[in-house]
Structure 1
Amino acid sequence: MKKILLATVMLSAMNMAYGEKLQKVVVSGNKRIESVTIESLLGVKVGEEISNSTADIILQNLYNTGYFTNVNVKKNAGTLNVVVSENPTIYEVAYEGNNKLTLEQIESEIKLQPRKILSKTDIQNAQQRLLEMYRRMGRFSAKVDPKLIKLDNNRVSLVFEIEEGESTHIQNIFFLGNKKYSTGRLEEALMSKRYKFWRFFATDDVYDPDRFMADQQALRQFYANHGYPDFRIINAIAELTPDKTEYYLTFAIDEGEQYRFEKPQIMSAVKDVPADILEKNIVFSEGDIYSAKEIEKSVTEITDALGSKGYAFVAVEPVIVRNNTQKTANVTFEIKEGPRVYVEKITIKGNSRTHDAVIRRELTLHEGDAYNASKIRDSETNIKDLGYFKESSVESEPGTNPDQAKLVVNVEEQRTGELKFGGGFSTTDGMMVNVGISERNFMGKGQIVHAEVGVSKRHQDVNLGITEPYLLGRPLAGSVDVYSVRSARADSYITKSTGFNLGLGYNLTQNLTQRFAYSLHKDSVSQIAVDASPFIQADPKNSLSSSVSHTLTYDKRDSIQEPTRGYTISMTNAYTGVGGNVHNMKNDLSATVFYTPVEDVTTLFRLGAGRVDKVGGKRVRIVDAVYLGADSFRGFEYAGLGPRDRRGRKDALGGRKYWKGTIEAQFPVGLPVDFGVKAAVFTDFGTVWDSSAKGVNVLDDKKMRASWGVGVIWKGPFGPLRIDYAIPFKKSKFDEEQRINLGYALPL
């Protein structure tokens, strides 16, 4: 209002005649802003005609800059006098009361800087932005009060006084119209959760408008994946209580009817594409409940299959026709010629610690290659399997030309160092403790370094090692390990082994890995009890073992870190006798299958077998035999099953042959996902037999042993912790049990 009155007064004072030309502009009152700059902001120049409306334009233009607190415009004989009072400059910007937001977080959003001219609009924008930041944190009762402290030389200190208030939690979530699924089941599909006092570290129970929008999409996906393509949200409301302390979420929904799949089909418009062969890549069948997720997965499988056969420029589009009468959906996958697009550039973002080269070597396509969605997904999996990043993705952007695309690799670093603790208990060995430190991404170069120390009543070991996954800049994994182990496998003797291992591995194909290793170690057996087994007493007391080994591994898991489907097959052959005085041959074969029969339940099937044989006419030493128990066979003590000498201390003698299997299922226990708690049920079964020690006093049979048990796995803030309790239900009378086993790792 003051500005309008001032403009009116000035108009009267100027008494400008229509069509009069401006001859001169005189600017006064300015101390920091140059007169030339102010003249350029007037909107009128010398020589131009001015009228009674010119004053309004000048005042509006100058006030809109935000540089001035007052503007006075006068005319005197063709001269325009502009008198200004400048806004003060900001000497400093301070924030008081911000405990939940750091100064760095605030300054990344608020652009007010020292030496900047103060603007009321800027202050209001900063105030609203701060309030918005607190609302995003669920603090809707937050208050922000800007204060100005006047200083000399027309300067001010700007202070934002903040009252953060309490978090506004989600007190309850309501669903209206849900008949097929319970409220509890639908809540599991949401990202937002109800407040529970025991969820100390949870943030998803604080209202977030963006998360609320994502919840609505999550509901649509949930129903679309469970046979309800007609599902719709009638209304979604987030209500804040008058005291701004609680939120109530309400979803009014229409579920619709459930649909099932008709027989799926594949139609190809691309020459030489074998449509009939690709049908095996469809992951659903006729009669299955409709699922948008299964359709999407089928598109991915077909695209990957085409990519592996060299079809880089094809597109797979599902055409869905619903029969509203029969409540069925017919899906036809149409294969068409896609645009020929090439990768123009690959950019990596977010890797503050990990070197670019470490990430780039995991990409299966490079700049100049044909754009291939299958290879992009493989690249995403490879980067995720590194375990270096909390989040990672490969996104596509338009290139410079229509036939080009840019790839952006986004990563978020996470801690890769671990301080490891492990423990266990047995009736004969008591408590066992393992401590170690490891770094999976040493200096951001992808190298693995580790050091471990294990101590118990009967076992002490030290192990140091380093692995370079890209030796000499090539895809060769080289490793060096140095170790010393002192172990009392039985009460009757102690073994000590000191040596080193060298390894070299590489990929033969994308899924097939080959590894060679060399090992040299010096062994000794000491403190043999008088009543120890004669077979132990007869073995050499000191030896030098020199061995070479070869391992082939075929890995088709969907993820190395957390597999849910796929399988691995591994075969190892090791020959000891390349020098030294120990000669034997050991062969092992194992296979593991991962399967997810229902959502959130992952099952594991593992089967392995092996044998160790003498070479050169000498029997296999007791210390080189195969032993099962503890981690390798839950429910039994280490070396707790298998051949044993019935005399004296009943020493375990180990076997030359073994087989062993495991079936395990892991599943959630009903706690919130952010608790990171899963349960497991398992059974271990197998046996070890055929000791090199023979005689009437040797207890040795092929009888199968088996145990079953339960476990708890917690992915807590201090790393993964697992506790297993196993009970043998099939055993021999001379076997020794150990029912509890535990261990965890603490990230640095």
Structure 2
Amino acid sequence: MKATDEFLNHNAEIQNNIYKEYGEATRRLNDLVYETRSFPFYIHSFRINGTKRTRQALLESVIYDALQARTLGTIKLRRLDIFQYVDVFLDSSNDPRALDVILSVEEKSRFWIKTGTEIGNDAGSANISLNVRNAFGGAESLEAYMSAGTQTSHVFEFCLAKPINGNPDSRVDISAFSLTKNNQIYSSHDEIMRGIALKWRVFSRIGYHELSYGSTWRQICNISPEATLSIRESAGHSLKSSVTHTLIRDKRDDLMLPSKGYYIKLFQEFAGLGGDVNLIKNEIESQANFPLGKGLFLVLH
């Protein structure tokens, strides 16, 4: 019994020492992070562990602010959606005014497929989406979407999106689509549309911006004898080339059931840069929410 008690006491002493050392190390790390979280610092060395497909240039562009002696709050790697986790470790350097930074990451799976079906009144469809994450090592996303149904004969869409300089708040999208729609039941014709688009999406202090250029070719065909005169007049081919801009500013406290804040969306379109469609369009959508107390609030559109 005496030997057992001595063994247990010895183990307890070892555990206490381990916990004490761990707590002291945690306290030192927390102090280091807290002291450097909002103050400029200099980086003595920088190491990246865990990357397989991601290009070094992407990581350098994202952490450029940190390398320029900014604060660690500028690192946006987590929002690129290409890593399972991103851990930043700080270590002391030979230079007392500098830090060694170790970036440890684990990349997310590269491919995934989504499938789905939709069934409604006199309509049904099935779709499949193939997605490639971090396609070329620069946080690009590649998506191919296909759908077939009773009303929409088929839809195919291809989209390649890339962050600019590794910034998740600024992206460029290139997309192409093809759509064949069966309108025989309601309008006695079929509609074929094919198009390409180039979009720039960016967040600013004002809100979300989307600037795009698109070109769409449309054909009204397979007109039945029961078609109306307006359908017959629109039969044939048309080409629309347009520039659009969208601004969204959303300050609501909840997207589904807001009780305070406001939402505004501005949309402008200019068509006539080519093709046979010419138009200028302006749209505005707004919402204002005012709390009245006791669970009541006023919503203005």
Q: What is the TM-score normalised by the length of structure 1?
A: 0.29
State the Cα RMSD in Å: 3.9
- 1:450 maps to which residue? 143
- Aligned AA (1:348): I
Taking the aligned partners of 1:440 and 1:463, their CA distance within structure 2 comes to 17
Taking the aligned partners of 1:359 and 1:569, their CA distance within structure 2 comes to 35
- 1:495 maps to which residue? 191
Tell me whether 1:387 sits opposite 2:75 in the alignment: no
Post-superposition CA distance 1:556-586 (Å, at most 9, x none): 99xxxxxxxx999654322222222223325
Post-superposition CA distance 1:512-557 (Å, at most 9, x none): 5544221112101123344445544443542111111123356899
Aligned partners of 2:246 and 2:268 also within 8 Å: yes
Assess, with a 3 A threshold, how the Cα gap between structure 1 residues 468 and 387 changes in structure 2: closer, same or farther: closer
Tell me whether 1:366 sits opposite 2:60 in the alignment: no
- Aligned AA (1:447): E
Aligned partners of 1:454 and 1:462 also within 8 Å: yes
Taking the aligned partners of 2:52 and 2:245, their CA distance within structure 1 comes to 38
Assess, with a 3 A threshold, how the Cα gap between structure 1 residues 343 and 490 changes in structure 2: closer, same or farther: farther
Assess, with a 3 A threshold, how the Cα gap between structure 1 residues 554 and 356 changes in structure 2: closer, same or farther: farther
- Aligned AA (1:524): Q
The one of 549, 555, 578 equivalent to 2:244 is 549
Tell me whether 1:483 sits opposite 2:171 in the alignment: no
Q: Secondary structure at the match of 1:347?
A: strand
Assess, with a 3 A threshold, how the Cα gap between structure 1 residues 458 and 400 changes in structure 2: closer, same or farther: same
Aligned partners of 1:471 and 1:478 also within 8 Å: no
Aligned partners of 1:575 and 1:586 also within 8 Å: no
Assess, with a 3 A threshold, how the Cα gap between structure 1 residues 476 and 416 changes in structure 2: closer, same or farther: same
Aligned partners of 1:480 and 1:503 also within 8 Å: yes
User: What residue ranges of structure 1 are gaps of 5+ in the alignment?
Assistant: 1-212, 214-299, 314-339, 558-565, 594-606, 608-658, 660-748
Q: Percent of counterpart pairs with the same letter? A: 20
Taking the aligned partners of 2:79 and 2:250, their CA distance within structure 1 comes to 13
Q: Secondary structure at the match of 1:442?
A: coil
- 2:294 maps to which residue? none
Taking the aligned partners of 2:159 and 2:68, their CA distance within structure 1 comes to 39
- 1:414 maps to which residue? 108
Tell me whether 1:346 sits opposite 2:39 in the alignment: no
- 1:434 maps to which residue? 127
- Bigger Rg over Cα: 1
1:438-587 map, 5 Å: 438-459=131-152, 460-470=154-164, 477-489=171-183, 491=185, 492=187, 493-506=189-202, 512=207, 514-532=209-227, 534-553=229-248, 571-584=266-279, 585-587=281-283
- Aligned AA (2:107): E
Post-superposition CA distance 1:640-659 (Å, at most 9, x none): xxxxxxxxxxxxxxxxxxx8
Q: Secondary structure at the match of 1:365?
A: helix
- Aligned AA (1:441): N
Assess, with a 3 A threshold, how the Cα gap between structure 1 residues 482 and 508 changes in structure 2: closer, same or farther: same
- CA shift for structure 1 position 487: 1.1
Post-superposition CA distance 1:37-66 (Å, at most 9, x none): xxxxxxxxxxxxxxxxxxxxxxxxxxxxxx
Tell me whether 1:403 sits opposite 2:97 in the alignment: yes
Taking the aligned partners of 2:214 and 2:264, their CA distance within structure 1 comes to 23
Aligned partners of 1:389 and 1:411 also within 8 Å: yes
- CA shift for structure 1 position 388: 0.8
- CA shift for structure 1 position 470: 3.0
User: What residue ranges of structure 2 are gaps of 5+ in the alignment?
Assistant: 1-18, 20-33, 253-260, 290-298
Q: Secondary structure at the match of 2:66?
A: coil
Aligned partners of 1:387 and 1:416 also within 8 Å: no
Aligned partners of 2:266 and 2:282 also within 8 Å: no
Taking the aligned partners of 1:386 and 1:476, their CA distance within structure 2 comes to 11
- CA shift for structure 1 position 490: 6.2
Aligned partners of 1:545 and 1:579 also within 8 Å: yes
Taking the aligned partners of 2:245 and 2:157, their CA distance within structure 1 comes to 22
- Aligned AA (2:200): L
Taking the aligned partners of 2:243 and 2:173, their CA distance within structure 1 comes to 14
- CA shift for structure 1 position 503: 2.5
Q: Which has the higher strand share?
A: 2
Assess, with a 3 A threshold, how the Cα gap between structure 1 residues 538 and 461 changes in structure 2: closer, same or farther: same
Post-superposition CA distance 1:400-442 (Å, at most 9, x none): 2222222222211111322221221112113x11123121211
Q: Secondary structure at the match of 2:53?
A: coil
Post-superposition CA distance 1:451-493 (Å, at most 9, x none): 22111112111222323323799x9643322221101256232
Taking the aligned partners of 1:577 and 1:401, their CA distance within structure 2 comes to 62
- CA shift for structure 1 position 345: 3.2
- 1:630 maps to which residue? none
